[in-house]
Amino acid sequence: MGQPTPLMPHATATWLVDHTGLSFEQIAEFCGLHILEVQAMADDLAGSKYTGRDPVHAGELTLAEIELGQADENYALKMHKAPVEVTRTKGPRYTPVSKRQDKPDGIAWLLRNHPEISDAQIGKLIGTTRNTIGAIRERTHWNIQNIQPKDPVTLGLCSQRELDAVVAKAAKRAGITEEEEAPVEGADIRSDKDKLIDELRAEREANVKAAAQAAQEAEAEAWLTAKREAEESGEDQIDPESGFKDAADGAEPEAAPEAPAEETEETPEDGETPA
């Protein structure tokens, strides 16, 4: 792993270019910059002008190390003391310059939607002063006509997690925190995702059932239509119940079978006596 770079690499490179005889390669390697950047600083072609920062005074480099580098162009400078990581002290929240004009809109939104939040909490969340908050609340702000309440999260003034934490803390302090209600017997405790899945499944099943019912109705309608057409044309019809053909209109009924002739005794003629 390489050595750390100076705290202010560009300013340190500017100082080394102006006050030492080190090569551009040595300065670029020590400061973690590209050699062309160092050369542009030396030629005053850099887009930004940097005020030199003495690495010897900062304890990052020693004069002996600089002399070794000046004596040997291939020598790589070694940092004497790594810069201490700078941590921001407590204070108002830092807001980029491009977003500072959006602060009044975020403050107005908080005052309207979360009146339980104190001015101190708003000031810490947005990074503003109590005078500004009071002026917006009392509508005495110099630009009050152009202030439109907007969600500070959308404006990028704070994160949703920070806003939720402040709102919860203010609500708890104000005593308006809603207690968790016990689940009601028979109540639907499913998540929104599960509810949506069940609704889609029920809708799909209903569509399948409706399609099957429509197919049955269409089939029955076709059968009735065919039956009516057949009756009008006089064709034999098949009884769906019995499975036999019915006689068509106008057809002669089949003759009934003749009963067997009964044997009769011959009647004797007049004057004759039976044998």
DSSP label at 204? H
pTM for the full predicted model: 0.38
CA distance 99 to 150: 13
Segment 17-29, tens digit of pLDDT: 888 889 999 999 9
Domain ranges of the chain: 9-71, 97-174
Name which of 30, 108, 32 is nearest 69 in CA terms. Answer: 30
CA distance 189 to 183: 8
What Å distances lie between residue 247 and 131, 172, 199, 236, 241, CA to CA? 105, 91, 55, 7, 15
Token pair recorded at residue 261: 């002739």
* pLDDT given at position 181: 46
CA angle 64, 70, 75 (to 5 degrees): 85
Segment 48-58, tens digit of pLDDT: 677 888 888 88
Kindly tell me if the per-residue pLDDT of 147 is higher than 90: yes
